[in-house]
Chains A and B, each alone.
Chain A
Amino acid sequence: MEDKVLMKGNEAIGEAAIRAGCKCFFGYPITPQTEVAAYMAKMMPKLGRVFLQAESEIAAINMVYGAAGSGVRVMTSSSSPGISLKQEGISYIAGAELPCVIVNIVRGGPGLGGIQPAQSDYFQATKGGGHGDYRLIVLAPSSIQEIIDLTSRAFDLADIYRNPVMIMGDGMLGQMMEPVQFKEVKGREVPEKPWATCGLYGRERHNVITSLFLAPEECERHNLKLNNKYKEIEKNETKFELYNCDDECDFIIVAYGTMARICKNLINMADKEGIRIGLIRPITLWPFPKAAFEQVIGLTRYGFLCVEMSMGQMVEDVLQVVNGRCPVEFYGRCGGMVPSPDEILVKIKQILNQREGVI
């Protein structure tokens, strides 16, 4: 067991990736994730591994495609506008079933937006982003320690399912420092890569990495195969945390990442005022943790409150899961504004007032 060290979120991603056996990193500078690239630029050459600053995010993601297709562990990182540029490549990677890790340290949008933390890329990450029927596995850490744990998990999931995995943080997680510990993690068992294009060396048939299926029957078959894989992932890899949900409560908040941390503070504050609030914290944004709702829906008096650093994106998934069984409220700030515990509590009191006419 190693000692605790103080680390910035972005650097922790880099270190965790190195420990997970990431052999190549291809990046491009963009605030607020540039420290990931800077850390990799410093460390990777010392280890005889590859750091390359690409000419664009488009080139970087296509370098990821090439390296992943050749069978090595590979990562790229960026922030919102850069992730938009990578979408073409991500669609090809999903289509060709290549394992890789993509980090999005989200900032406010749309367009050039701002450089402060946001969660407004939820739709892009979980509902597609690029063209075609595909899914990314999306992991949302809420502390630097969890960034470390999930980065290692991301590489394993990518290899197991031959699927791109996105780690979705925000500018706050990327920039802040926390004491962390690099534990000896026993990785999952991952399959060999007999499909990789790493040279014939006596292999009878050549390997081909492609996402092109010209015959419609073939293209449909490929899509069905992908879809079966996504169902497997939904069944096996959904992850969430329940906080303060072991008993009846007035409300259950749904929040992830930085927002979930802030909501935990708020829950403790509210407790002192006699308002009991639970929390569902999705750790996998896709697959969305529907099971969490089934577990706690009977415990909440007034339903769910979805809190996001956006104008309401995850709330659509919450509405779908709840499916009219109880009310779903939303509170969000956007563009780099981060809701404070106080203002969320005010919102909660307002809702309780409407429902009970008390407090």
Chain B
Amino acid sequence: MAVIFDRPKALLDVPTHYCPGCTHGIIHRLIAEVIDELGILDRTIGVAPVGCSVLAYNYFACDMQEAAHGRAPAVATGIKRAIPESIVFTYQGDGDLAAIGTAEMVHAATRGERITTIFVNNCIYGMTGGQMAPTTLPGQVTETSPYGRDVLTQGYPIRVSEMLSTLDGPAYIERVAVSSVPNIIKAKKAIKKAFIYQMEGRGYTLIEVLSTCPTNWGLSPDEAMTWLEKNMIPYYSLGVKKDIALEVK
């Protein structure tokens, strides 16, 4: 019988520690499918962050490094500069990338490092149990914004993709969501394009993936998908934020 659906080779056959309904599994799979399809498993090196996906190095079949909190883009820079023929990606959450790792993220982007960042934005710190993130929406209730994020005292969420798109170093930046099948298909296309741009040496690439955290949002997986579409997408608009191939020469 023909096998029409199987585990990608770039994903190891191990149980993950993610909560039921968490979308990290989907995003891991998309990256792994892209690595398989591009035939780059041998030369791909991934960098895991600190946060919910800290153990991502146990799930991807390629060589992996675990970075300190927020430092993944610097670690990835070290790997890519040491082995320029490698394909290097960082997998980072919103706290890791947009709070403690802001400097590393901005400077890897503006240097145009030939690396790909998969930025998983779920508006909350998941691993530590649901605190306010730099991307937490105005009014959103978390453990450290129990009365709802008050922008007058707690500031505004960062739109990372738009911010980085003002720089000259990035080659391709797109925001996607994994909230529905059509969106997941678009997300995979974007991830694949980012890896291809890296293979072509075009510059820094970042795909921001809007994702859910049913556990810390206090919603069922299904309700979480609806919450994402109703609340996150209006604030974090989907689509291409920068693509050097589309820019007028």
Chain A positions near chain B (C-beta within 8 angstroms): 23-24, 26, 50, 52, 54-56, 58-60, 62-72, 74, 88-89, 92, 96, 197-202, 206-212
Contact B103 A56 (CB under 8 A): yes
Residues of B within 8 A of A (CB): 12, 41-45, 47-48, 54-55, 57-58, 60-68, 71, 74-83, 86, 103-104, 106-107
Kindly list chain B residues whose C-beta atoms are within 8 Å of the C-beta of A59.
71, 74, 77, 103-104, 107
Assess the A62–B68 pair: CB atoms within 8 A.
Answer: yes
Q: Which of A66, A67, A92, A206 has the most CB of B within 10 A?
A: A66
Question: 5 A–B contact pairs at CB < 8 A?
Answer: A54-B74, A55-B106, A66-B77, A66-B78, A201-B43
> Residue among A52, A92, A200 with the most chain B CB within 10 A?
A200
5 smallest CB-CB distances across A and B, nearest first, come from A66-B78, A62-B74, A197-B63, A210-B66, A63-B78
Closest beta carbon of chain A to B126's beta carbon, Å = 16
By a CB distance below 8 angstroms, the chain B residues around A206 are 12, 60-64
Q: Which residue of B lies closest to A73 (CB)?
A: B82
B105–chain A nearest beta-carbon distance, Å: 10
Which residue of chain B lies nearest to A50 when distances are taken between CB atoms in the complex? B81
Instruction: Report the minimum CB–CB distance from A265 to chain B (whole Å).
Output: 43
Residue contact A65 to B42, C-beta cutoff 8 Å:
no
Q: What residues of B have a CB within 8 angstroms of the CB of A200 in the complex?
A: 41-43, 61-63
Across the two chains, which residue of chain A brings its CB closest to B68?
Answer: A92
- When C-beta atoms are compared, the residue in chain B nearest to A59 turns out to be B74
Known interface pairs A24-B81, A63-B75. Does A208 touch B65 (Cβ–Cβ under 8 Å)?
yes
Closest chain A residue, CB of each to CB of B75:
A66
In the bound complex, how far is the Cα of B104 from the Cα of A89, in angstroms? 13
Q: Which residue of B lies closest to A88 (CB)?
A: B68
What is the bound-complex CA distance between A26 and B76, given in angstroms?
A: 13
With the chains together, A347 CA to B47 CA distance in Å?
56
Q: State whether B65 touches A74 (Cβ < 8 A).
A: no
Chain A residues positioned under 8 Å from B55 (CB to CB): 212
- CB nearest neighbor in B for A196: B63
Contact between chains at A65 and B61 (CB < 8 Å): no
B44 x A199 contact (CB < 8 A): yes
Separation of A59 and B106 alpha carbons in the complex (Å): 11
With A52-B81, A67-B82 as known contacts, state yes or no: A209 contacts B64, CB within 8 Å.
Answer: yes
Chain A residues with Cβ under 8 A from B60's Cβ? 206
What distance in Å separates the Cβ of A45 from its nearest Cβ neighbour in chain B? 12
Report the separation of the CA atoms of residues A64 and B68 in the bound assembly, to the nearest whole angstrom.
Answer: 12
CA distance A96 to B67 in the complex (A): 10
Q: Give the chain B neighbours of A211 by CB distance below 8 A.
A: 66
Most chain A CB inside 10 Å of its own CB: which residue of B43, B45, B86: B45
Contact A199 B63, CB 8 Å, known A66-B82, A89-B68: yes
Query: CB within 8 A of B71: which of A74, A89, A197?
Result: A89
Which residues of B lie under 8 Å from residue A210 when comparing CB positions? 48, 57, 64-66
Q: Is A23 within 8 A of B62, CB to CB?
A: no
A198 to B107, CA, bound (A): 24
A199: shortest Cβ distance to chain B, in Å?
Answer: 4
